[in-house]
A and B are shown apart, each in its own frame.
Chain A
């Protein structure tokens, strides 16, 4: 990343260009794989699709009862949304006019995720995970051997047929075509979130207690990290999975995940700067640069390997609920609990010179 311009720390490094206000609390926002569109999801009301500058392109149909999750196709401009109405919607360009609805079942759908090649979608519905053929919309497989609600899932980035589901005291790893899970990590408690490292090595859960479990899928040896101030509500992986950033209070912790033991025995880097709980994080694509958002309304930029303090990207009166870097530009989007979606360009020497 080019050097940041010499702005005083109190000023924002993010030149905000556009703001859009959703119908309700913003749950998440995601860039399409080509970076041309940003989708933002409110808890109630219409999901919005914005262009790369943050201008509204379309408002999409709301899920009855509330929205839950959204996911872009890994290589095409197709957006999936689910909600409490147990309906999966696939939206293609031109957005707002090309919507396919697939009624799944009764019960809330909590999460939707495309597999790495984009040919399948997995949706959690209560205690079941449904895997659908993205082309036909037909359910290919149902995974229902769960005692508890599946609250999150993540595909293995290095395989097209394997995903981790959070349930049953930890996480289960399923493979298409297999009736039994490949692995069941049960630590006797409850987990809520799951993320799979980009290199396919680690499955990581955020737990109901202030802790994180890391499962080295090759070894199947769990690592239980405790001592967080509060429940860990967000993760971020560096590009190749060398580092995992965890929230869990006002301090961000960066865990090294390379080497035979990963974080076990290593000294993590701690990033203190937020005045409230960290609720959102994202690594800049291809660089060890982290953005974070917190309950304090601050969006901060970190260069953790340079051990420098954070730079202010933005400040809001509401909690920051998501921060996302555009995959192809120095553009960031963040959302707030007040339903705001803001996009801006990072002020670097490069972007400043290009503007001049």
Chain B
């Protein structure tokens, strides 16, 4: 039985020490060894606190994927030579630490790998100040990208709407992590220490659109409209502008909406010469991208329709965010069908997560070849990978995880009578969902 290890990360001032003190003082029934980031050793009651200075071992001339933490190898090696074993080991990293080498230590060093396993990376996020770091700090991004659990801390200092936006942004970066909102790092300790392995259903519960691709718009729908002028009205302005595309489609059904969606994606990718449309102006249903200029109070645009038919409309925000309606002959027209889309996030487009799933079985050999090639070519940009595969010929689930170029898999629970399916998640920079999905599909048996 391997001793579980929790890695605690978080930017400076996020509340790591507060959480650490909670873990050390609360009655949770576990004997815990804590590795902090200073030198020396002190004991607190029946717990053990070891201080360590972060020390990087670069292997193979600095290859990022072979970089491990020398201090942890030494300290954990020492801990494993104690008869009074611990139930759990908690490692606190410095605010500026890259979690990569910490996690890789558990993949690379044979002695550590044999006796210890990373149960979870827990990242504390200062809800009040994280935005100051998120755009320009690689460390802050990586700490979020590596997390299995994110504690959105200091929630008392931020209003709910801002918390919702921040949480959405964190989910876009790491769709795999469980997010808990906390104040003063107050959380039930099992939610930090007893974190199970990767669970796609949990990721989907957090974000039902987790497996879907991201789009440059949040909403799309088809309207049946008569020839002549129609009206687009709105009364709320969440942003100074909102981008929109209107185009004719052949029918009011899902296939037509899907086809129009692809046309709209291309239109939304046009960044140059986008026509600004202030309230009162007239729009054509020509598939071109337009920027509605939003203002306080009632707004109204005229939609000039040459003929009766079906028209698809794609908007950057949900219509209800603007109290937007489309009217013909003074009557509000409902969209049918309509769909909400997972928006892309311009802030963190470099760090994202991609979830993939497929019913049925994978071919183990193809899967191994694809993953091997993938990490060889993109391992530097892939922070973490986790998945559960149904492999042909294997009665048990194959549970897989990886860090950069390091991969590890082991048999999990038997499938039994449950439907066999595979799912996996990548978190990293510059991930190409379509390419990953294509590659994954080639592995299906």
Q: Is the CB of A189 within 8 A of B57?
A: yes
Residues of A1-47 whose CB lies within 8 A of B? 23-25, 27, 43-44
Q: A175 at interface (Cβ–Cβ under 8 A)?
A: no
State how many angstroms separate the Cβ of A23 from the closest Cβ of chain B: 8
State how many angstroms separate the Cβ of A191 from the closest Cβ of chain B: 10
Q: Give the CA-CA distance A190 to B109 in the complex, in Å.
A: 13
A-B complex: 7 closest residue pairs judged by Cβ atoms: A190-B57, A65-B41, A25-B81, A43-B81, A107-B39, A188-B61, A24-B83
Q: B53 at interface (Cβ–Cβ under 8 A)?
A: yes
Q: Is the CB of A339 within 8 A of B83?
A: yes
Please give the residue numbers on chain A whose beta carbons come within 8 Å of chain B beta carbons, in ascending order: 23-25, 27, 43-44, 64-66, 84-86, 106-108, 110, 126, 148-149, 151, 169, 188-190, 208-209, 230-231, 337, 339
8 Å CB contact of B59 from A27, A86, A208, A230: A208
Please give the residue numbers on chain B whose beta carbons come within 8 Å of chain A beta carbons, in ascending order: 39-41, 43, 53, 55, 57-62, 68, 70-71, 73-74, 78, 81-84, 109-111
Q: Is the CB of B39 within 8 A of A108?
A: yes
Q: Give the CA-CA distance A233 to B364 in the complex, in Å.
A: 36
Q: Is the CB of B40 within 8 A of A106?
A: yes
Q: Is the CB of B111 within 8 A of A231?
A: yes
Interface centre among B81, B110, B111 (most CB of A within 10 A): B81
State how many angstroms separate the Cβ of B271 from the closest Cβ of chain A: 44
State how many angstroms separate the Cβ of B59 from the closest Cβ of chain A: 5
State how many angstroms separate the Cβ of A28 from the closest Cβ of chain B: 11
Extra contacts besides A25-B81, A108-B39 (6): CB < 8 Å: A24-B82, A65-B41, A85-B41, A110-B74, A148-B70, A208-B68
Q: Is the CB of B73 within 8 A of A148?
A: no
Known A126-B39, A148-B55: A43·B82 in contact at CB below 8 Å = yes
Q: Give the CA-CA distance A106 to B82 in the complex, in Å.
A: 22
Q: Is the CB of A188 within 8 A of B82?
A: no
Q: Is the CB of B58 within 8 A of A190?
A: yes
A interface, by DSSP: helix, strand, loop or mixed?
Answer: loop
Q: Is the CB of A107 within 8 A of B40?
A: yes
Q: Give the CA-CA distance A34 to B413 in the complex, in Å.
A: 59
State how many angstroms separate the Cβ of B84 from the closest Cβ of chain A: 7
Q: Give the CA-CA distance A157 to B60 in the complex, in Å.
A: 32
Q: Give the CA-CA distance A60 to B44 in the complex, in Å.
A: 25
Q: Is the CB of B81 within 8 A of A27?
A: yes
Q: Is the CB of B57 within 8 A of A108?
A: no
Contacts of A84 in B (CB 8 A): 41
A25 closest partner in B (C-beta): B81
Contacts of B84 in A (CB 8 A): 24, 44
Known A106-B39, A208-B57: A149·B81 in contact at CB below 8 Å = no
8 Å CB contact of A189 from B39, B43, B60: B60
A188 closest partner in B (C-beta): B61
User: Can you give 6 A-B contacts (C-beta < 8 A)?
Assistant: A107-B39, A148-B70, A151-B74, A189-B58, A208-B57, A231-B109
State how many angstroms separate the Cβ of B379 from the closest Cβ of chain A: 18
Q: Give the CA-CA distance A335 to B59 in the complex, in Å.
A: 32
A229 closest partner in B (C-beta): B110
Known A43-B78, A189-B58: A149·B71 in contact at CB below 8 Å = yes
8 Å CB contact of A149 from B43, B74, B82, B111: B74
Q: Give the CA-CA distance A27 to B81 in the complex, in Å.
A: 8
State how many angstroms separate the Cβ of B343 from the closest Cβ of chain A: 45
Known A43-B78, A66-B78, A230-B110: A190·B59 in contact at CB below 8 Å = yes
Q: Give the CA-CA distance A283 to B109 in the complex, in Å.
A: 29
Q: Is the CB of A188 within 8 A of B81?
A: no
Contacts of A188 in B (CB 8 A): 58, 61-62
State how many angstroms separate the Cβ of B111 from the closest Cβ of chain A: 7
State how many angstroms separate the Cβ of A104 from the closest Cβ of chain B: 12
Q: Is the CB of A189 within 8 A of B59?
A: yes
Q: Give the CA-CA distance A276 to B256 in the complex, in Å.
A: 65
Q: Give the CA-CA distance A44 to B60 in the complex, in Å.
A: 35
Q: Give the CA-CA distance A44 to B83 in the complex, in Å.
A: 8
Q: Give the CA-CA distance A149 to B110 in the complex, in Å.
A: 21
Q: Is the CB of B82 within 8 A of A190?
A: no
A84 closest partner in B (C-beta): B41
Q: Give the CA-CA distance A188 to B57 in the complex, in Å.
A: 9
Q: Give the CA-CA distance A22 to B441 in the complex, in Å.
A: 58
A337 closest partner in B (C-beta): B81
8 Å CB contact of B53 from A44, A86, A149, A337: A149
A43 closest partner in B (C-beta): B81
State how many angstroms separate the Cβ of A152 from the closest Cβ of chain B: 11
Known A43-B78, A126-B53: A149·B83 in contact at CB below 8 Å = no
Q: Give the CA-CA distance A151 to B71 in the complex, in Å.
A: 10
Q: Give the CA-CA distance A209 to B84 in the complex, in Å.
A: 29
Contacts of A43 in B (CB 8 A): 78, 81-83
Q: Give the CA-CA distance A126 to B43 in the complex, in Å.
A: 19
Contacts of A64 in B (CB 8 A): 41
State how many angstroms separate the Cβ of A39 from the closest Cβ of chain B: 18
Contacts of A209 in B (CB 8 A): 59-60
Q: Give the CA-CA distance A25 to B115 in the complex, in Å.
A: 16
Q: Give the CA-CA distance A339 to B81 in the complex, in Å.
A: 10
Contacts of A190 in B (CB 8 A): 57-59, 70
Q: Give the CA-CA distance A110 to B53 in the complex, in Å.
A: 14
Q: Give the CA-CA distance A210 to B61 in the complex, in Å.
A: 15
B41 closest partner in A (C-beta): A65
Q: Give the CA-CA distance A208 to B59 in the complex, in Å.
A: 8
State how many angstroms separate the Cβ of B157 from the closest Cβ of chain A: 37
Contacts of B55 in A (CB 8 A): 148-149
Q: Give the CA-CA distance A44 to B84 in the complex, in Å.
A: 9
Q: Is the CB of A25 within 8 A of B59?
A: no
Q: Give the CA-CA distance A24 to B43 in the complex, in Å.
A: 18
Contacts of B59 in A (CB 8 A): 189-190, 208-209
Q: Give the CA-CA distance A340 to B83 in the complex, in Å.
A: 13
Q: Is the CB of A25 within 8 A of B53?
A: no
Contacts of B70 in A (CB 8 A): 148-149, 190, 208
A190 closest partner in B (C-beta): B57
Interface centre among B40, B53, B111 (most CB of A within 10 A): B40
Contacts of B41 in A (CB 8 A): 64-66, 84-85, 108
Q: Give the CA-CA distance A15 to B53 in the complex, in Å.
A: 46
Q: Give the CA-CA distance A337 to B111 in the complex, in Å.
A: 14
State how many angstroms separate the Cβ of A209 from the closest Cβ of chain B: 6
A231 closest partner in B (C-beta): B110
Contacts of A169 in B (CB 8 A): 58
Q: Give the CA-CA distance A110 to B43 in the complex, in Å.
A: 19
B55 closest partner in A (C-beta): A148
Contacts of A110 in B (CB 8 A): 74
Q: Give the CA-CA distance A169 to B67 in the complex, in Å.
A: 13
Interface centre among A66, A169, A231 (most CB of B within 10 A): A66
Q: Give the CA-CA distance A85 to B41 in the complex, in Å.
A: 8
Q: Give the CA-CA distance A20 to B324 in the complex, in Å.
A: 84
Contacts of B82 in A (CB 8 A): 24-25, 43-44, 66
Q: Give the CA-CA distance A208 to B39 in the complex, in Å.
A: 21
Contacts of B71 in A (CB 8 A): 149
Q: Give the CA-CA distance A24 to B57 in the complex, in Å.
A: 29
Q: Give the CA-CA distance A339 to B62 in the complex, in Å.
A: 39
